[in-house]
Structure 1
Amino acid sequence: MRHVIALDVGGTGIKAALVGTEAAPSGSSPGAPARPPVLLHEARRPTGRERGPEAVIGTILDFAAELRELGARKYGAPAAAAGVAVPGIVDEITGTAVYAANLGWRDVPLRRLLSERLDGVPVALGHDVRTGGLAEGRIGAGKGTDRFVFLPLGTGIAAAIGIGGRIEAGAHGSAGEIGHIVVRPEGPECGCGRRGCLETLASAAAVGRAWAAACGDPDATAADAAKAVESGDPAAAAVWQEAVDALADGLVTCLTLLDPRTLIIGGGLAEAGDTLFAPLREAVRQRVTFQPLPSIVPAALGDAAGCLGAGLLARDLLSTEVTA
C-alpha cells in the first residue's frame, strides 16, 4: 500500500503515523487529496529536549527511519514522502526550522536532513499549529469553510489562518501569533518580553497556574480548574472568567483583522466543552460592534490534528508530482 510518513514534534512528545495515500487524480489542484487520510500505524515517543537540540534532531531522524523500515516491511515499499510539523518559527519554503525556544534550536535545515536520512524521498516541513489547521480545514471542523481561524489553547496560543483552502504562513513564517497580542498591558510578563500577552492569561498553562495559585495546590491544572467551575467553586469561576474575558478580547481583535466565518478552538482548554464554549460565545457576543459574529466551535481532530496535517503535507507533495 502506498503511504507517507507523518511526524508531529512537540515540546515533550513526538506523535507519528504511517498514512495511506493515493495521489490526487490528474487534473485536480495541488492540495486536494483523493480521499481522507487513513492511519495505518501510529506511534509516540518522548522528544527528549532535556538532552539538547542536537539530540532532539537525532530522535526525529531516527524515528522517521524506523517508520520507513516498518512501512517497507509491512506494505512492500518504503514511504513515498514524509511530512513533519514542528513548533516555533518555520520557513516552509526553504524547509528550515528557524527558531523554537522550547526545543533550543535555530536555523535547522530539517527538510534536507530528513530527506537525506530517508534516501531522498520528498519531505514537507510545516509549523505545528498551521499544520493542525490544515487538517481541521480539510477534514475537521473547518471543512467546507472558506475563511476560518484554528486556535489551539495549550502551553501557549497560536493560530492557523485558513483562507480559500490554504493556510496563511505570512511573509516571514510567523503569521497567526495571536498569543502575543497584548490584552492586559499590566498583566503577567510573557516569554516574548512584553506584559499581558494573551497566552499569559488564556492558555491552558496560564489557567493552570492561576488556579494552582488560587487553590493552593501547586500541581493543579486547567482541567482541575474546569472541574471546580462545574462543581460551583466561586474561586475557580473567577479564575475561569478572567481567562475567558482575556480570550474574548483577543478573539475580537482577530475577528476585526481577519473576518473569519468560523473560529475553531482546540487544545487542552477546549476539552472543557460547554464550560468553556458557553461563556466564551457570550463574551465575544458582548464585545462585537460592527463585526459579524462567527461560529465558535470545538476542534474535531483532537491531538491527532498535527499528525494528520503532516500526512496531508506529504500527500500534497505527491499530488504536485502528478499534476506538475
Structure 2
Amino acid sequence: MTAAAGAADAGAPSEPGEGAAAAQFGSGIPDVVTDASGERLARAASIGAGTPVLAFDVGGTDIKSALFDASGAAVGLRRTPTPEAGPDMPARLVERIGELGDALRAQHPEIVPQAVGFVVPGIVDADAGVAVFSSNLGLRSAPLRMLAEQRFGLPVAFDHDVGTASWAEYMLGAARDYPNSVAIIIGTGIAGTILVDGVPYTGGGYAGEIGHSPIGEWPCPCGARGCLEAVASAGAIARRYEAATGVEVDGAKEVIARAADGDAVAGQIWNEALDALTLSIAQLTAVIAPEAVVIGGGLSRAGGALFDELRTRLAARLSFHRIPVLIPAQLSGNAGILGSALRARRVVA
C-alpha cells in the first residue's frame, strides 16, 4: 500500500492541540451531549462503580468538567473556555474550576463528590502537586493541587493531562491488555507516555516528550532543530504544505487526501511525516520494547494511510526486535476527563 492509500478513511480528534485537530478531523463519535452553548461534546464513557468525584481536564483552549456519580457515569459533562494566561493565573484557573464544580454540585445535589481530579498540560510534578511549567497556561512552579484543595475542601489528585489520558487508555481503552506500552498523541503537537507495568513513567514530569525527540533537521518552535512534531504533527503537516505551495488547506486531513489524489508535494510531506514517526517508534522499540504503541489525536483515525504504512515501514526497519502492536486510541477526546476521574478515586480508595 502507498502512503496515500487509505486516506479516504482519515478523520478525528486530538490532544495536544485538541481543539485544532478536532476541527480538522471531527469527533468520530456519534453519541454526543451538548454544553451550555449548544456545542456538541463526545459523551464520556463510564469509569465503573465507585466513589463519586469531580473531574477537570484543563487545556490551553478549554476546560472539560464533569461530575461522576456512584455508577461511574459522567453527569453534566461540559466544555468552557480556559482563562487567558496572565497575572495570578494559578489563582484564576483554580477559581474557574471551582466555579464549574460549584455549578455541577448545585445542579446535582444528590451526588456528593468525595475527591477532585485535575489535570493540566506541560511539565507536571504530580508528587509535589506543582505545575512546573506550562506555556499554554502561562504557569511556572504553580502549587495547583494545594490551591485546589483549599478551594474545594476535598482531596485532589493532580497530574499531567497526556499521562493521565494514556493511563485511562490502559485502564479502560485500547491499551488494557498491554501494561508495557507507549501512547503517542498526535495533534497540533505530539506528546506521549510510557507505561511500565501499567504505571506511567514520569521522569519527574519530564518524560514522554516524544514530540521533541530529535529526528531530522527541521526547525521547531521550541527553539531546537529536528523535533519529531516539527514534521509529523497534524499542525506541521498542514503548515509545511501551505509553505511549500502557497495553498491554504483544511488541516492535515486535506494534505493526506491530496496525497491520495497524486499531489506530489502532499505525497512528499506525508511520506516524510510517516518516515519520522516510523523512526521514532523504532527507536522506542529498540530501547524499551513496548508491547504496543497506542496512537491517538488528530491522525489516529487516518485509517490505513497511517496505521498500515507505519506497520509496513516499522517491519522493514527493525530486524530481531519484537515489533509492537500498533493500535488506535479508543477513548478519543474523553481520555483526559476519564483519567482525571479515575485519579480522583485513587486518592480516597
RMSD: 1.9
Q: What does 1:71-220 correspond to in 2, within 5 Å?
A: 71-118=105-152, 120-170=153-203, 172-184=204-216, 187-218=217-248, 220=250
Higher relative contact order (CA 8 A, sep 6+): 2
Quick one: structure 1 residues 57 and 150, their matched pair in 2 at CA, closer, same or farther if it must change by over 3 Å? farther
Q: Does 1:3 align with 2:3?
A: no
| C-alpha distance 237-53 of structure 1, shift in aligned 2 (>3 A) | farther
Shift of 1:94: 0.9
The counterpart of 2:326, out of the listed 293, 296, 314, is 296
CA shift for structure 1 position 70: 2.1
Deviation, 1:145, is: 1.4
- Does 2:64 match 1:15? yes
State how far apart, in whole Å, the 1-side matches of 2:305 and 2:144 are: 40
SS of residue in 2 equivalent to 1:188: strand
Counterpart amino acid of residue 90 in structure 1: V
Shift of 1:134: 0.8
SS in 2 for 1:152: strand
Report if aligned partners of 1:211, 1:221 keep a CA contact under 8 Å in 2.
no
Q: Residues 230, 75 of structure 1: CA spacing in aligned structure 2 closer, same or farther, 3 A cutoff?
A: farther
Is the contact made by 2:105 and 2:112 (CA closer than 8 Å) also made in structure 1? Answer: yes
Structure-2 residue corresponding to 1:43: 78
Q: Displacement of 1:271 after TM fit?
A: 2.5
1: CA distance, partners of 2:139 / 2:145: 14
Distance 1:13-1:56 versus aligned 2 partners, 3 A rule: farther
- How far, CA to CA, are the matches of 1:200 and 1:275 in structure 2? 20
- CA deviation map 1:63-103 (0-9, x unaligned): 33332342254142542111111111100011000101222
TM-score, structure 1 as length reference: 0.87
Partner of 1:318: 348
Structure 1: give runs of 5+ residues left out of the alignment: 23-36, 320-324
CA contact (8 A) 1:81 1:314 kept: yes
2:69·2:111 contact (CA, 8 Å) conserved in 1? Answer: no
Query: Bigger shift: 66-75 or 274-283?
Result: 66-75
- 1:221-300 mapped onto 2 (5 Å cutoff): 221-300=251-330
| Number of aligned residue pairs | 300
Question: After superposition, what is the alpha-carbon deviation per residue over 1:239-289, rounded to whole angstroms, capped at 9, x for unaligned?
Answer: 111100011111111111211110000011212222211111111111112
Tell me the distance in 2 between the aligned counterparts of 1:53 and 1:255. 43
Counterpart residue identity of residue 149, structure 2: S
Give distance in 2, aligned partners of 1:77 and 1:265: 35
Distance 1:71 1:273 in 2: 41
Identical-residue share of aligned pairs (%): 39
2:81 maps to a residue whose letter is: P
TM-score normalised by the chain length of structure 2: 0.81
Q: List gaps (5 residues or longer) in structure 2.
A: 1-49
Per-residue CA deviation, residues 171-190 of structure 1 (Å, 9 max, x unaligned), is: x2111111121111xx2222
User: 2 CA distance for matches of 1:94 and 1:56?
Assistant: 15
Q: Kindly indicate whether the alpha-carbon contact (under 8 Å) linking 2:83 and 2:96 is maintained by their aligned counterparts in 1.
A: no
